[in-house]
A = this chain, B = another copy of it.
Amino acid sequence: MDQDALNFDPHVSVDCVILGFDGESLQVLLSRRGNEVPEEQYNNLKLPGRLLHTDEDLDEAALDIITSVTGKHHPLVKQFRAYGSPSRTSNPKDVLWLENAIKQKIGRIVTISYLSLMRINSRTARPKDNDAQLWYPVQDLPSLAFDHNQIIQDTLNELYRMAGQQPQMLFEMMPAKFTAAQLRRLHEQVSGKTLDVRNFAKLVMNKPYIIPLNEWEQNVSHRAARFYRFKP
């Protein structure tokens, strides 16, 4: 090991890209920080995350973060990528913020990012300490702290890739009962392509793990859509 590595220990944090789907569009859960920094500063929004605790595995930290901001207990998590550029912490606003939060001089933070998928409901965005959590559509995000916009973009590309191979994972984001159109819109959002309605019905909706229910939409001004559920 080389000499100039001695005694250099960057901070290590875990940040989570928690994605959900509201039936219309893909959403990401962001933390809005409390009072330390004026509200109007653009980078008051960030991914949920924190420094790694002593004796805590990376996956454990991700699970803990996700559970604490969403209340969901065994969420699907997948480690995605580490970000360690020294310039990550170069924005003065981010530095101010960090030093406020960590109460020490910050040289540099290596972050391990995680992807998590979940259903959006009334419980999946709950205040935690000083922070409030809110779902934002991934199209048209505001500027976020650090390189978090980049992390989200990279993670969406990863989601696209993974969903191509295991489309079942998308059910993590669907409500317990859903219509064919909702599931199709999710596939479309993830892949960025518009899908043929008939082919989608044939190829996806009659997979053995998609169970049609004897329930239909209510009070819609057009033919009511059938509900389905997912059998794991």
Contacts and interface: CB of A to CB of B under 8 A. Distances in A.
Contacts of A112: 82, 84, 110
B50 A2 contact: yes
A79 B85 CA distance: 13
Contacts of A102: 1, 5-6
Interface in A1-56: 1-2, 4-12, 50-56
Nearest to A98: B1
A86 interface: yes
Interface in A48-79: 50-58, 79
A38 to B, nearest CB: 19
Interface residues of A, number: 37
A40 to B, nearest CB: 22
Contacts of A85: 57-58
A48 B188 CA distance: 42
Contacts of A104: 6-7
A207 B77 CA distance: 38
Contacts of A5: 50-53, 102
A82 to B, nearest CB: 5
Given A12-B9, A85-B57, A110-B12, A51 B103 contact: no
A81 interface: yes
B101 A51 contact: no
B51 A8 contact: yes
B84 A53 contact: no
A132 B55 CA distance: 33
A86 B12 contact: no
A86 B103 contact: no
A85 B55 CA distance: 8
Which of A10, A79, A103: most chain B Cβ within 10 A? A10
Given A5-B102, A8-B52, A57-B86, 4 more contacts: A2-B50, A4-B53, A8-B51, A52-B110
